[in-house]
Amino acid sequence: VMHLGLHNPREQYTMNGTYLNSTVKERDLGVTITPDLKWAQHIKIITGKAYGVLNVMGSVFMAPPVPFTCTDVDGQTVLPVNGTECWVQLVNNSNGSRETVPCKNFSYSHETFETTVTEDYDLVCSRTPLHVMFQMSISIGCCGGAIIGLIIGDRYGRQTVVWYSAVCSAICAAVLVAKVSDYNVVLIARFFIGVFTITLNLPSIALAIEMCPMKYRAMYGVLSGLTFLAGMFTMTAVSYTTRNWRIMQFTASMGTFITVLVANPLVSLESPRWLVTKGRLKDAEKTLRHIARYNNKTNSLPDDLHLHLSAVYRHQQECRKSTEPLSSWQHLKSLYASKYMRKITVINYLMWYNKSLLYLAIPLNANHFSSVFVYMSLLAVSEIPAYTITGAITTKFGRKRVISIYLMVVVVMQGSMVIMMGVHYENGWLNYAMSAVAYTFVASSSQVNTLYTTELFPTSVRTLAFSAAVIIYTI
């Protein structure tokens, strides 16, 4: 039983003499529902998945480590120093004199990729730290976007924020697709793509759920997860076909370009629910009647719709006045107010941190396998059980037990691979299989841990606790 509404008396119900347990959160085919009927938790979950995939794809396919050699200079022969191509000896072909210098001219292997960020901007040797920044820039942007998105989406409206974020993200993507010579510009563009991707995703998911009929919301929950799997397959296919990082970037940004068109204020509607919360009742009525006409349901709306909307708005205002909200600092202190709270906070956040390392480390290891394309495709397939059978298993065996067993399987798989590396045992397909199994259980435990977190923390601090968990995951 889920008790809905601020003034709900929360009666205890029975069925055939058996008391029914109450719940503060339910996940129905992928959609996370809470008593306040808000979508913040569901949005954070699937948005976190979105930029996790985006980060991995960017690093694995666009900026992989590429074998390189130092090229000869006119009139001089280049000899590596101590087996490295970063420092070389320049041998003068005329007099035989030698000089040890850092390499400045590189030749890159095109065995796997035709063009990469690594090659275009010489992100090797002394510039290797800048190679890491290609990954980190978008991650940092996503952190900022997660905070900004929740604020501006509620303040300025779902549709407005979605469209402007899409426009800004498309501009940044166009900068990356163009042949920009300055790597600093690339990093700045990546940072803002991270920001605008999240500020686009957060309100767009809220808009989709608020506009979606009740009977289709469960299906939307499933599709919202499967779209990221489709994205992994698409990026792998495009990468395999083109081997060009700018085409991959364009492909990754196609959703943004499409959003610019379909979320245009001239053709897209604002969320009626948001309009009502802001007191824009005439706009809300206009939007609802437009939707009804589009779906041939004009008879389903009452003639006095404006009176119903006014009543809803007044009720919301009364609820807000009757509730005295705690400050963010008071909520934060409550996470450590007791021994029990300190225990679940520390342990839970350690689980989130370790889960994020495992969840991203396995895909980021793709370039160490013989075929990065086969590897990433297998990982995409490995995520399917996380969206299908994990829910049933968790319902039967419980959260903690499932998480523990899943993570032990991951440790066994990863530990076995480390031992195989230590004894120099090479078996490509066995490595693929073990990585895929480990990734399946990591992804599945990630789904369960999300549910576990929302159930462990009290209602009063649940949103804050979950937000902090998402930030830790991103870090």
pLDDT digits (tens, 9 = 90+) for 422-435: 888 877 778 888 88
Residues 284, 159: one domain? no
Residues 50, 18: one domain? no
* Final residue belonging to a domain, choices 224, 249, 265: 265
Residues 134, 89: one domain? no
* Final residue belonging to a domain, choices 215, 244, 265: 265
51-53-55 Cα angle (round to 5): 65
Residues 387, 471: one domain? yes
How many domains is the chain built from? 5
Residues 223, 288: one domain? no
Residues 194, 275: one domain? no
Distance from C-alpha of 81 to C-alpha of 64, rounded to nearest angstrom: 24
Look at residue 329 and tell me if it is in a domain. no
Residues 153, 27: one domain? no
Residues 46, 152: one domain? yes
DSSP state of 14: E
Residues 211, 176: one domain? yes
Look at residue 472 and tell me if it is in a domain. yes
CATH number at residue 182: 1.20.1250.20
Look at residue 454 and tell me if it is in a domain. yes
* Final residue belonging to a domain, choices 241, 265, 289: 265
Distance from C-alpha of 370 to C-alpha of 205, rounded to nearest angstrom: 37
CA distances to 37, 226, 392 from 355, rounded to whole Å, are: 28, 20, 21
Look at residue 243 and tell me if it is in a domain. yes
Look at residue 183 and tell me if it is in a domain. yes
Look at residue 386 and tell me if it is in a domain. yes
Residues 345, 233: one domain? no
Nearest to 239 by CA among 127, 113, 132: 113
Please report the pLDDT score of residue 183 as a whole number. 92
Look at residue 330 and tell me if it is in a domain. no
Helices in 278-338 by DSSP H: which ranges? Answer: 281-294, 305-322, 328-334
Residues 159, 134: one domain? yes
Query: Whole domain around residue 94: which residue ranges?
Result: 68-108
Look at residue 384 and tell me if it is in a domain. yes
Using 70 as the pLDDT threshold, list the residues of the chain that sit under it: 1-12, 14-58, 72-76, 93, 149-151, 153-154, 202, 205-206, 208-227, 319-329, 331, 367-368, 387, 391, 451, 454, 459-464, 466-467, 470
DSSP state of 244: B
Distance from C-alpha of 71 to C-alpha of 7, rounded to nearest angstrom: 75
206-403-142 Cα angle (round to 5): 35
Number of Cβ atoms within 10 Å of the Cβ of 37: 10
Nearest to 45 by CA among 229, 259, 221: 221
CA distances to 73, 173, 183, 247, 419 from 253, rounded to whole Å, are: 40, 6, 19, 10, 40
Nearest to 161 by CA among 169, 284, 38: 169
Residues 100, 176: one domain? no
Please report the pLDDT score of residue 184 as a whole number. 92
